[in-house]
Amino acid sequence: MSGSFLRKIRIIVSIIFFIPTTFLFADIFSLVPPSLSNGIVYLQFVPSVLKFAVLLSFSSFGFIIVLALTILFGRVYCSLICPLGTLQDFVNWIRGKIKKRNKRRFEFLKEQKLLRISLLLIPIIVFVFGSSLAINLLDPYSIYGKFAGNYFRPIMVGLNNIAAFVSDRFKLYAVYGYDLKAFILIPFIITTALFVFVVVMSWIKGRLYCNTVCPVGTLLGYVSKFSLFKIVIKNEECLSCGICAKECRANCIDSDNKTIDTSRCVMCFDCLTNCPTNGIVYDFSFRKQQSNNLTIEQSKRDFILKSSLFLFSLSTIAAQVKKKIIVTKPSTKPVFRKNAVSPPGSVSIEKFNVKCTACHLCVSACPTQVLQPSFLEYGFLGMLQPRMDNIASFCNFECKICSDVCPTGAILPIDLEKKKLTQIGKAIFVKDNCIVNTQKTDCGACSEHCPTKAVHMVPFEGKLVIPETRDDYCIGCGACEYACPTKPYKAIYVEGNRIHQIAKKNVEQKKLEEKINYKEEFPF
Amino acid sequence: MNRRDFFRKSLQAGLLTGAAAAFPGIYGNYFEKTSRILPAAFDLVAVKGGEADVMFDEAIKALGGMKNFVKQNQKVCLKPNVGWDVSPERAGNTNPKLVSRVIKHCFDAGAKEVLVFDHTCDNWRRCYSNSGIEKAVKDAGGKMISGDTENYYQDVSVKSGKRLTSAKVHEVLLDSDVFINMPILKSHSSTRLTICMKNLMGVVWDRGYWHSNDLHQCIADYSTYRKPDLNIVDAYYVMKRNGPRGVSVDDVTTMKSQIVSADMVAADAAAAKLFGMEPDDISYIKIAGAMGVGKKDLSSLNIKRIIM
């Protein structure tokens, strides 16, 4: 197979993966059903590993397929499947279009082995100690997800709303407007910073992120050292012209010494395409394997140890910060939420913090937009993970889409009937803020919206009725908090359960058995 | 109608038409469209014992047919209750079979188009589809419009409002020639019952204001703004408790009834009685009656009662 053919296949396949994955995060019309969504992200490495760790089922074998592909063909995950990889290739391509003169711009760079291994080990260590924060900031799929959700989704909304505006102008009502119900600034800034970091690196040095920072890249890189097919330099045909090195976005070809650092090769096949002879080929790796020098010096050990210590100490700081967060501000009476509310299926905040990589696929998929990125509501270690934002919206009683789409198993698949009894938090009534109490007029918006009537109305002064909450029936969906009209602060709010509980089914009332005589006269 | 009534009503109509010209803005000519004197033989029709759609056939026949309400080439706005993501037998939303039949009658009377919307409480797409109403509307040839974004809602002032003096109202309603209100009779945790006037909370954007500024007064205030040309109260399945959302089908009883009237207050009063409550126990009916929105006293009305 010729190099340019391989390159074309690479480009086509990467687009085939890239577009549907991107669309998932911008799908404001809920066009993609969860089953298809699962299929689209099936091969994403980190989510699949995490889901496998929870479920141990075929539904999460994606990462094993990726490992097998790597053993056979090298780091094809990085060039074909990884959306952040494709995005970087796109950035490169744009740069090539803009700066045509400076097209062949890459050069061989020395491997930053210490950095790579540290950044592979730190997420693993932090994960073992119960947080996915490092993964959530480094996993390429999750970074891309955050980026796509934060940027492409609003763009989609904008386009839709322009179309809706035009259609409404002509009274066609063919396209409906879409409201983004919340904009959470700090997660947006963090996402933007991550994105700029990756884009700048790729603008300057090609796949530098993939070859120094990305833990998936490092892991698959070292696996690919043993792969069956490899890019190899044929000494007898090579002219030592160095074109391949200048084309190599992975900066891994040392044309002077005629060696390739396979661990960093992302299988873009650009070198093959541009080689004037057949001096560089994609072939069986007949050559003797180079020994992997993985011995870590004392200084490197120190570095890893210290950086993990640093992260642990940060988590302690976060534990202090968490208690001070005010989610809803005081009306006449200040209201504090001690725990954020995690989505049904996440079982407990601790488990959620371990498994969620904050890819925000659920944020994009949530039809009511109640799932929004958090900042420190879950604590430092849970940064950016989605939480239930009952100011923006509330959890639909009949819906469990987040649990269906979650690729990591952070939100476990949950049966709808079970979801309807899963108590993710409890409603707390603040009488001092309630309109019925302060203004002596009827309201009851909270009770109206309550799907289980955990919030019901009881006699108050005169003919008035006032809300009363019943923990047994409450599932913490947040409809009451959302509906509560007290401004700017709520009179009812949901306090998150650190460990989700099971609510009781509201069966206190027997089935209505009214005998109606349809022939009877009207009562008026 | 005796001679005195005729004079009085003509005078009222004249005053309203005159007053309409005094209102500035795009929707100034609005009252002109709506202040028709109903030539109907009855103030209110109550039907019992049939299927929802068949009962409507009977009711509208008693009122002289849909042609009395919808003229050739008119735009009709239909406002059923589609507030909740529940199935039809949960009685949280208006009966889709009835909605479909009403649309059919509108088209038979020559309507140019029938547009249907609600500002839902649950997610609007799920409400529209799971209530069965979206399908019913489409099948009958009508069009279901979103009520989910604020830019559909235009500012209007409610001149006779005491607490509610302005509101943002859906443009589909403002643009229509005929407005048909199609509530379902339900128990309601904050207002005791939701019927015609309460159903109009679904045509405005900011309901929170109503809730925080004397809900009953606001409901009555808004009902002075744009009276529906026809109110069809669906009481086939009736949610007797835990309303307006309901907890399960156990809350629902099959009453197989329907009330149709051009007078919201009368329809609400009759529906309240049907439910087993006194109209005066529901504050907004009492207030609206006192404000002259309609007639709360059923004994003064000419009622047609049909038992099938």
Residues 6+ apart with CB under 8 A from A95: A203
Contact A205, A109 (CB under 8 A): yes
Is pLDDT above 50 for A328? Answer: no
Contact B59, B261 (CB under 8 A): no
Residues 6+ apart with CB under 8 A from A290: A225
Residues 6+ apart with CB under 8 A from A306: none
Main-chain phi, psi angles of B96, to 5 degrees: -60, -30
> Contacts of residue A445 in chain B, CB cutoff 8 Å?
190, 207-208, 211
What 8-state DSSP symbol labels residue B299?
G
Classify the C-alpha dihedral B135-B139-B140-B144 as positive or negative. positive
Q: Report how far apart, in Å, the C-alpha atoms of A307 and of each of A123, A294, A303 are.
A: 11, 19, 6
Is there a domain that residue B175 lies in? Answer: yes
Is there a domain that residue B165 lies in? Answer: yes
Give the distance from residue B263's alpha carbon to the nearest chain A alpha carbon, in angstroms.
16
- Please state the pTM of the whole predicted model: 0.84
Q: Tokens for A118?
A: 């540290």
Distance linking the first and last C-alpha atoms of chain B: 28
Degrees, nearest 5: CA angle A483-A489-A490? 40
Question: Interface pTM (ipTM) of the complex?
Answer: 0.85
Question: Does the beta-carbon distance from A397 to B49 stay under 8 Å?
Answer: no
- The pLDDT value given to residue A169: 86
- The pLDDT value given to residue A283: 86
Which range marks the domain in which residue B160 is found? Answer: 45-307
Residue A309's pLDDT band, with cuts at 50, 70 and 90, is low
To 10 degrees, what angle do helices A140-169 and A3-26 make? 60
> Contacts of residue A367 in chain B, CB cutoff 8 Å?
123, 125-126
Q: For B256-274, what is the mean pLDDT?
A: 97
| Least reliable range by pLDDT among A104-108, A118-122, A283-287, A394-398 | A283-287
Q: For B23-27, what is the mean pLDDT?
A: 42
Q: How many domains are contained in chain B? A: 1
Q: Report how far apart, in Å, the C-alpha atoms of B31 and of each of A203, B138, B154 are.
A: 63, 29, 16
Q: Given B150, B212, B298, which is nearest A486 (Cβ)?
A: B212
Contact A445, B211 (CB under 8 A): yes
Is pLDDT above 60 for A326? Answer: no
Collapsing DSSP to helix, strand or coil, A372 comes out as: strand
B contact test, residue of A181, A446, A448 with most B CBs within 10 A: A448
Give the distance from residue A3's alpha carbon to the nearest chain B alpha carbon, in angstroms.
49
Helix (H) or strand (E) holding A9: helix A3-26
What 8-state DSSP symbol labels residue A311?
H
Query: How far apart are alpha carbons A68 and A225 in whole angstroms?
Result: 13
Strand bridging mode A280-284 / A229-233: antiparallel
Q: Tokens for A275?
A: 């080689």
Nearest to A281 by CA among A289, A291, A271: A271
Query: How far apart are alpha carbons A391 and A479 in whole angstroms?
Result: 9
- The pLDDT value given to residue A298: 53
Is there a domain that residue B79 lies in? Answer: yes
> Contacts of residue A448 in chain B, CB cutoff 8 Å?
121, 188-190, 244-245
Chain A touched by B239 (CB under 8 Å): no
With CA atoms as reference, the chain A residue closest to B206 would be A485
Note the Cα A297 to chain centre separation in Å. Answer: 35
CB atoms within 10 A of CB A499: 10
Residue A188's pLDDT band, with cuts at 50, 70 and 90, is very high
Chain A touched by B300 (CB under 8 Å): no
Note the Cα A319 to chain centre separation in Å. Answer: 23
Query: By CB neighbour count within 10 A (0-12 exposed, 13-18 middle, 19+ buried), where does A181 fall?
Result: middle
Q: For A349-371, what is the mean pLDDT?
A: 94
Q: What is the 3-state secondary structure (H, E, C) of A489-520?
A: CCCEEEEEEEEEEECCCCCCCCCCCCCCCCCC
Give me the helices (H) in A99-180, please. Answer: 113-128, 133-138, 140-169
| Least reliable range by pLDDT among A346-350, A490-494, B2-6, B270-274 | B2-6
- The pLDDT value given to residue A311: 55
Query: How far apart are alpha carbons A242 and B106 in whole angstroms?
Result: 79
Question: Does the beta-carbon distance from B190 to A486 stay under 8 Å?
Answer: no
Summarised one tens digit per residue, pLDDT across range B95-124 is 999 999 999 999 999 999 999 999 999 999
Is there a domain that residue B7 lies in? Answer: no
Distance linking the first and last C-alpha atoms of chain A: 88
Is there a domain that residue B226 lies in? Answer: yes
With CA atoms as reference, the chain A residue closest to B217 would be A441
Peptide bond into A488 cis (omega under 30): yes
All domains of chain A, ordered by start, with CATH? Answer: 3-284 (no CATH), 421-504 (3.30.70.20)
Q: Tokens for A307?
A: 């950086």
Residue B39's pLDDT band, with cuts at 50, 70 and 90, is low
Contact A92, A202 (CB under 8 A): yes
> Contacts of residue A522 in chain B, CB cutoff 8 Å?
46, 48, 270, 273-274, 305
Main-chain phi, psi angles of A165, to 5 degrees: -60, -45
CATH of the domain at B86: 3.40.50.11440
Contact B103, B137 (CB under 8 A): yes
Q: Report how far apart, in Å, the C-alpha atoms of A226 and of each of A43, A98, A214, A259, B142 are.
A: 21, 37, 19, 16, 65
Tell me which range, A127-141, A509-523, B71-85, is most confidently predicted by mean pLDDT.
Answer: B71-85
Degrees, nearest 5: CA angle B66-B67-B70? 85
With CA atoms as reference, the chain A residue closest to B151 would be A177
Chain A touched by B241 (CB under 8 Å): yes
Question: Does the beta-carbon distance from A485 to B212 stay under 8 Å?
Answer: yes
Peptide bond into A215 cis (omega under 30): no
Q: Report how far apart, in Å, the C-alpha atoms of B172 and of each of B31, B199, B209 are.
A: 15, 16, 22
Residue A356: strand pairing partners = none
Written as one string, the DSSP assignment of A398-454 is: T--HHHHH-SSSSS----HHHHTTEEEEEEEE-GGG-HHHHT-S---HHHHH-SS-S
Q: Tokens for A465?
A: 């009725």
Q: For B53-65, what is the mean pLDDT?
A: 96
Residue A345's pLDDT band, with cuts at 50, 70 and 90, is very high
Residue B7's pLDDT band, with cuts at 50, 70 and 90, is low
Chain A touched by B254 (CB under 8 Å): yes
CA-based max dimension of chain A: 105
> Contacts of residue A399 in chain B, CB cutoff 8 Å?
123, 126
Question: Does the beta-carbon distance from B152 to A177 stay under 8 Å?
Answer: yes
Q: What is the mean pLDDT of chain B?
A: 89
Summarised one tens digit per residue, pLDDT across range B126-137 is 999 999 999 999
Query: How far apart are alpha carbons A92 and A56 in whole angstroms?
Result: 38
Is there a domain that residue B24 lies in? Answer: no
Q: Tokens for A180?
A: 């983004």
Summarised one tens digit per residue, pLDDT across range B151-210 is 899 999 999 999 999 999 999 999 999 999 999 999 999 899 999 999 999 999 999 999
- The pLDDT value given to residue B79: 98
Query: How far apart are alpha carbons A518 and B51 in whole angstroms?
Result: 12
> Contacts of residue A398 in chain B, CB cutoff 8 Å?
85, 126, 130
> Contacts of residue A171 in chain B, CB cutoff 8 Å?
175
